[in-house]
Structure 1
Amino acid sequence: MTKTLLLTLAVLCLGLTSAQTSLAAELHVMTFNLWHGGEAGGEPLEKSIDAIRLAKADIVGLQETLGRAVDGVRPDNGAKIAKMMGWHYLDQGGSTGILSRFPILASTPKKWGAKIELSPGRELMFFNVHFPHAPYQPYQLLRIPYANAPFLETESQAIDAAQKARGSELTSLLAELRISFDMREPVILTGDFNEPSHQDWTERAAATRKCPLKVEFPTTQRVTEVGMVDAWRAIYPNEVVEPGLTWTTTTSISDPHDHHDRIDFIFVSPHGLTTMHAATVGEQGGADIELGAWPSDHRAVVATLASE
């Protein structure tokens, strides 16, 4: 009787340990522009929480965390979401933040990133960005008036404008990210880049009128040159078949006064991380994972990673 009981307990414990290991090895990360603290779409903050839970996210890079001003002060709704969910939070400044169900141990000097403890002895570096929204090169090339920016004609003009708009912030980010990458630590980068990918605006995409011309956009180009891997393109390499559009939910894809693009990204280092799945999260009829009354003007992106 005693031997049978001990054997049964041993089997149960073995199964539990195996399940816990499997759970810890699978990680869901998300990039999510809240749209002025989740308030601009007229939805309650709970809708943004619903989106995070629907995506089954474990760690979220948030952009536009600040809500409407109250007595001259804009509240950090990212911090509010963390409190409502009982999660950990890093206010990065500049209306960005990192939300995690795992403990946040430390931040990098300029708060581009945070060290997150998945379990004792298992850590990763998580970076999150929101690059300047204007001038916005797709609109400049398509002659769509926006932010009083001049219209552009060529690829080289677009690359130059993008570098001037986002280059200095990107350089600052990469200076911190490279430290962890070069140490072969697991590294994740999320963000609203406000710029399409060089892997999307290709000759093939231009030939099928997905974009007006080929542009090797510099921001994603520089991130991949470090060695980071675009999680979406790792799963969906064909930019024509799977464009993964995240901008915008507020107009029709056929609207002649707008242009839809993929500007929200998840990048993953090859050190201990492998992308298994990627999906957009957004409004009904427009995303892989759908939520009624979607609260943002961006679709979010969630990636499932295998973590060694």
Structure 2
Amino acid sequence: MRRLLPLVLAVLVAALAVAAPARPVLAAADGTLAASSVTVGSELRFSYSTPRPSATNWVGLYTDPGNGPAGEAYVGPSTKWTYAASASGSGSLPTAGLAPGAYILYYLYNDGYTWLAQPVRIQLIAASGTLTLASATVTAGTPIQVTYTTSKPSGTNWIGLYHNPGNGPVNQAYVGQSERWVYTAGTSGSASLPTSGLTAGDYIVYYLYNDGYTWLAQPVTLRITGSGAPHFPTPAFTLRNAKVGVAYSATVGGLVQGNTAGLSFAKTSGPAWATVSSTGAVTGTPTAAGTATIGIRATTTAGTTDATVTVRVQAAALVPQLRALSWNLWHGGTVVSNGFEKELKFLLERDVDVVGIQENQDGAAQALATALGWSYFQNADTAVLSRYPITATTPTVAGSAVAARIDLGSRSLRLWNAHLGYTPYGPYDACFGHLTVQQLLDREASSGRTGQINDVIAAMAPDLAASASTPVLLTGDFNAPSHLDWTAANARCGYGAVPWPTSTAPANAGLTDSYRQAHPDPATSPGNTWSPVDKTFAGGYGYDSHKGEPEPQDRIDFVHYRGPLTVLSSDALWEGTPSQSDPSGNAWPSDHAAVLTVFAVS
């Protein structure tokens, strides 16, 4: 059963004007409430405000008529509920599993039943068709076969395949691109969706109306399995740290690649305290500090594969060292064949703790987090990925930047991650256009990057003020060089010092560039991140006459920090010798180098 408070609850979709039930009490509800009807299975979204905020104000959904607190007193349990703690905000209630029909939404005060707004009636509508899969599991490369029916035929009805969870239209509105799609005209029929090139994992299929995102049927989930022998991305890797005497939990359950039909796990060696479940959960309570080495075997119908897993058991601080990465994934890793597995391999082999991700296409961070058993927070372009729990998040600012609070045991960390505008590009303006320094700065402003970085720094202000106790990171692809690299002593393209705004703004806010702190001389340690792939200028940006010339190399990806951290090392990393002309076979799944900084946590 659930809660109540003064609220202005304005559903994020069109308001449904309805008469509220009669109230038998005289106390005024000092908020308002509005809501829209939704198709069963999608989320009921709302917004609210109240002059009486409380951490235990809540919104509850009841059958109408039914168990709702019509007399501002408990009658029976709600069907769904959620807290609405702020003076104003937004939220949602799931409707999966509920029957179509009439419902009523209440906004209630302080874990009780006093109204904060007039209740609103909601209709949960049954979908107008059916969607059926021939199989709930398919092997990558094998088409997904579907059949469908609808009472609302259209030549532009369509079926779309999305990662689950991911960019699917869960609220019957666009979130992100589908992985595959096909039109489905007529009142019934069959169709197929190709799976070639897709990574193994969980997906969901939607049947949608008239080139839009209104559901025609309940979505259906499926799993795509890999082909070939099962294998871990790398045979030896480290899981999150443990602490003596504290219950531990991690997982390897999502890491096996290849054919995973019938997948199960077993422990083959390791300390007595560690157990490995059939689903890949690694649990137990460590009894002594040190390095625990655990042998794990994964078995599928296609064979077995083994991994050696390390857990660092700490006696004091859970995370005495932090390995932080900034990584542009190059359209989510989709440009390079088997990019997802290559991303997993890199993260595991480099023992990464936290990642600021850019170009998070198709919810790549979510897929990585699911496989790794990590936490994540994402939008369509940027994400924070963490081996340790994310406890709070900051929604999108300055176009696409996001932030998260990460629990490191005895200390928290705030990680901000940004992806700034890419055009016009300063090194082209300098090396090809030979603009004056003032013209370069004017072009930076016109690109939007100057405003974006200033907005990010402004949003970070409370975290920067608290950084003495809670360290702060700012990672990102800034699409601009650093004033620490373009100096009088390190001439580039004939220029001396250039005060690039995207690097001076963080410095002025007290943030330190970790790579340049580890490598003070830009002449001997340039640390270029753009680009290990693009060595020849491909044209565009108004400089087609320079097509085929050497691509200006520069450092445009960063890990900045402020607070009780000490830089132990920082490196610009990639793997192999990436090809520009045929990148699909590259061992490195990105066109940027990643920046990995190792910190000692004070």
Shorter-chain TM range is: 0.7 to 0.9
Partner of 1:281: 573
Contact 2:536–2:550 under 8 Å retained in 1: no
Q: Which moved more, 1:99-108 or 1:48-57?
A: 48-57
Q: What does 1:1-308 correspond to in 2, within 5 Å?
A: 13=288, 19-21=314-316, 24-66=319-361, 75-91=362-378, 93-110=379-396, 112-119=402-409, 121-143=410-432, 151-165=433-447, 166-184=449-467, 185-206=470-491, 210-214=492-496, 215-252=498-535, 256-269=549-562, 271-284=563-576, 293-308=587-602
Which secondary structure state, in structure 2, belongs to the residue aligned with residue 53 of structure 1? helix
Supply the distance in 1 between the matched residues of 2:313 and 2:592 (Cα, whole angstroms).
38
- CA 1:77/1:18 → structure 2, altered by over 3 Å: closer, same or farther? closer
Q: Which moved more, 1:77-86 or 1:248-257?
A: 248-257
- CA 1:190/1:20 → structure 2, altered by over 3 Å: closer, same or farther? farther
Supply the distance in 2 between the matched residues of 1:296 and 1:260 (Cα, whole angstroms).
16
- Deviation, 1:79, is 0.8
Which secondary structure state, in structure 2, belongs to the residue aligned with residue 21 of structure 1? coil
- Deviation, 1:14, is 6.7
Q: For residues 141-180 of structure 1, give each alpha carbon's deviation from its aligned partner in whole angstroms, at most 9, with x where no partner exists.
A: 222xxxxxxx451111111211232122212211121211
- Deviation, 1:104, is 0.5
- CA 1:49/1:20 → structure 2, altered by over 3 Å: closer, same or farther? farther
Which secondary structure state, in structure 2, belongs to the residue aligned with residue 174 of structure 1? helix
Supply the distance in 2 between the matched residues of 1:98 and 1:227 (Cα, whole angstroms).
22
Q: Higher helix proportion, which one?
A: 1
Amino acid in the other structure paired with 2:346: A
Supply the distance in 1 between the matched residues of 2:315 and 2:344 (Cα, whole angstroms).
25
Contact 2:569–2:598 under 8 Å retained in 1: yes
Contact 1:30–1:61 under 8 Å retained in 2: yes
- CA 1:53/1:212 → structure 2, altered by over 3 Å: closer, same or farther? farther
**Identity in percent:** 33
Contact 1:249–1:283 under 8 Å retained in 2: no
Q: For residues 43-88 of structure 1, give each alpha carbon's deviation from its aligned partner in whole angstroms, at most 9, with x where no partner exists.
A: 431111112222211000000010xxxxxxxx21111111111110
- Deviation, 1:230, is 0.4
Contact 1:36–1:64 under 8 Å retained in 2: yes
- CA 1:79/1:170 → structure 2, altered by over 3 Å: closer, same or farther? same
- Deviation, 1:263, is 0.4
TM-score by length of 2: 0.43
Q: For residues 87-146 of structure 1, give each alpha carbon's deviation from its aligned partner in whole angstroms, at most 9, with x where no partner exists.
A: 10001x241100001110111254631111011x41011000100111101112222xxx
Q: For residues 201-252 of structure 1, give each alpha carbon's deviation from its aligned partner in whole angstroms, at most 9, with x where no partner exists.
A: 111211xxx4431311111101011000000011100000000011012233
Computing the radius of gyration from Cα coordinates, the structure with the larger value is 2
* Higher relative contact order, chain-length normalized (CA < 8 Å, sep 6+): 1
Segments of structure 2 that go 5 or more residues without pairing to the other structure are: 1-286, 292-311, 538-547, 579-585
Which secondary structure state, in structure 1, belongs to the residue aligned with residue 344 of structure 2? helix
- The count of aligned residue pairs is 271
- CA 1:13/1:258 → structure 2, altered by over 3 Å: closer, same or farther? closer
Q: Higher strand proportion, which one?
A: 2
Which secondary structure state, in structure 1, belongs to the residue aligned with residue 480 of structure 2? coil
- Deviation, 1:22, is 6.2
Amino acid in the other structure paired with 2:442: D
TM-score by length of 1: 0.82
Supply the distance in 2 between the matched residues of 1:29 and 1:20 (Cα, whole angstroms).
22
Contact 2:321–2:598 under 8 Å retained in 1: yes
Q: For residues 24-44 of structure 1, give each alpha carbon's deviation from its aligned partner in whole angstroms, at most 9, with x where no partner exists.
A: 110000001000010113343
Contact 1:246–1:262 under 8 Å retained in 2: yes
Supply the distance in 2 between the matched residues of 1:115 and 1:47 (Cα, whole angstroms).
27
Partner of 1:9: none
Contact 1:152–1:158 under 8 Å retained in 2: no
Q: Where in structure 1 do 4 or more consecutive aligned residues deviate above 4 Å?
A: 12-18
Which secondary structure state, in structure 2, belongs to the residue aligned with residue 105 of structure 1? strand
Contact 1:31–1:61 under 8 Å retained in 2: yes
Query: Cα RMSD (Å) of the superposition?
Result: 2.3
Which secondary structure state, in structure 2, belongs to the residue aligned with residue 204 of structure 1? coil
